[in-house]
Every structure is written in structure tokens, then in C-alpha cells.
Amino acid sequence: MSGNRRKALLASAALVGCAMLMTACQDSGSGTAKDAPSADASGSSGSSGSSGSSGSSSAGGEKDSAAKDSGEQGTLAGTGSNENGKIGKCRTDELEVTAKDSTITGDNEGTVAVELKNGGGRDCSLSGYAGVDLKTNAGSLSAKRTGEKAEPMVLKDGKSVYFGVHYPINTSGGSGVRITGLVVTPPDETKSVTLNWPGAGSLPVSDGPGSPVKVGPMGSAGQGG
């Protein structure tokens, strides 16, 4: 083999080897390029997953916060407090009003104890006198206030307060004025409650001015009358 031909063969072999090396480099680069989108997708997925987890945590936090706020509002409503911490007045619809005879044997007047029980689910305030009217066969008879000092009070949910209605006992021997019912209007309210009259059946007939029936302020009757 001549020297020139041998040199040509070696040069050709070198070119082939270089071409193979370039192909391998390209394949390797191509493989890396193919792997890159997969990594990006994974990274994107991981970022999305992290974001989703964060979003869930935030939503949970908002729910917890909302539940807490709701609970606080429920507490405020339960205590009857407004945003300024004030106690609202007792409403007629929140009060269970009952009456019973509380006359003590030997007294020269009869007494009916009226109970106002707070069933409104919140504390509320009461102050002053209730309005009291007796229904009679001669018409309505309004009770006068005794003039005792009326202290403002907070009536706790589920608790009661009592006041007395005082009236003269009919000892005349006659039929007198027949009592048919008791109408009670809580302090600072306009809605009334009508009850059966639990006291004596009649009042003595009186020619004097004014009403012989008197009402005491909140708390003027003892526990249970």
C-alpha cells in the first residue's frame, strides 16, 4: 500500500470517528433537552401543589376565623350586648309572665305576686314599674304606683323578678266589683299580657277618688311571692 493511500485511509477513518463522536454528543444533548421539560413539569407541579396546599390552609384559616367571629357574635347576642357592650331592655315576648295569690293571713289587704321570668336567651335590663290593669265587670281599673324607689336591674337569662299588686279585701258582705282578669305591661313596653286573676274574686265598692289597687316596682315582692 502506497504511503499516499494509507494517509487517505487514516484521514477517512478520523473523519468517521469524529462524525460518530458528534452524533453521540448530539444524542446526549437531545436526551438532556428531553429531560428538561419533564423536570420543569415536575417543578411546575410541585409549585402548583405547594400553592394548592397553601390555598387550602388559607381557606381553613378563613373558616376558623369565620367560625370564631360567628361564635363571638353568638356570645354577644346571648348576653344581649350590642357592639358597645350595652344590655338591651327586656321585651314582652322574651318574658314569661305569671301571677299567684300571695296574701298573708291576717293582712288587711290582698296581694298578688307577679313573676317576670327571662326566657329570651340573653340578659336584659328592667327598670321602674310595670303597667297593671284589672279587668272588672265595671270596666278596666288601673293600679297606682306605690311610690317606692325603683332600682334599675339586669335580669339574667333564665332568672325571675317579682313585684306585688295590692288591693283592698271586700269585707262588706256585698258582691262588690267582680275581677275578671289581670293585664300586665312590662316596664318601657307597649305589648301587654293578659292573665287570670288569682286573688280574691271582688273588690269592695268605693266612692272615693282614684284606684284602690296599687303596684310596687320591680323586685318589690320576694322570691316566689
DSSP string, 66-86: HHHHHHHHHHHHHHTB-TT-P
- Among residues 180, 173, 183, 162, the alpha carbon closest in space to that of 204 is found at 173
* CA–CA dist 169, 109 (Å, integer): 5
Q: In this model, does residue 52 exceed pLDDT 70?
A: no
pLDDT given for residue 106 in this prediction? 82
Half-sphere exposure of 217 (CA within 13 A, CB side): 10
Whole-number Cα distances in Å, 32 to 20, 29, 37, 41, 200: 18, 5, 9, 14, 106
Give the span between the Cα atoms of 19 and 156, in whole angstroms: 97
Average pLDDT over residues 155-183: 94
44-65: average pLDDT: 40
Rounded distance between C-alpha atoms, residue 193 and residue 90, angstroms: 14
Closest by CA position to 123, among listed 72, 93, 91, 78: 78
94-141 pLDDT tens trace: 999 999 999 988 888 999 999 999 999 999 999 899 999 999 999 999
Confidence of residue 16 (pLDDT cuts 50, 70, 90): very low
Contact 194, 182 (CB under 8 A): yes
Sequence-separated (6 or more) residues with CB below 8 Å from residue 184: 97, 99, 114, 130, 131, 132, 192, 193, 195
**What grid cell was written down for 182?**
289581670
Q: Which residue has the higher pLDDT, 224 or 72?
A: 224
The residue ranking higher by pLDDT, 53 or 199, is: 199
In 3-state terms the chain splits into helix, strand, coil percentages (rounded to 5) of 35, 30, 35
Q: Examine the pLDDT at 186 and tell me if it is beyond 90.
A: yes
Give pTM, 2 decimals. 0.62
6-20, 32-46, 151-165 — most confident range: 151-165
Please state the separation of Cα 105 from the chain's center in Å: 45
**DSSP β-bridge partners for residue 4:** none
Dist CA 78 CA 69 (whole Å): 14
pLDDT on residue 80:
44
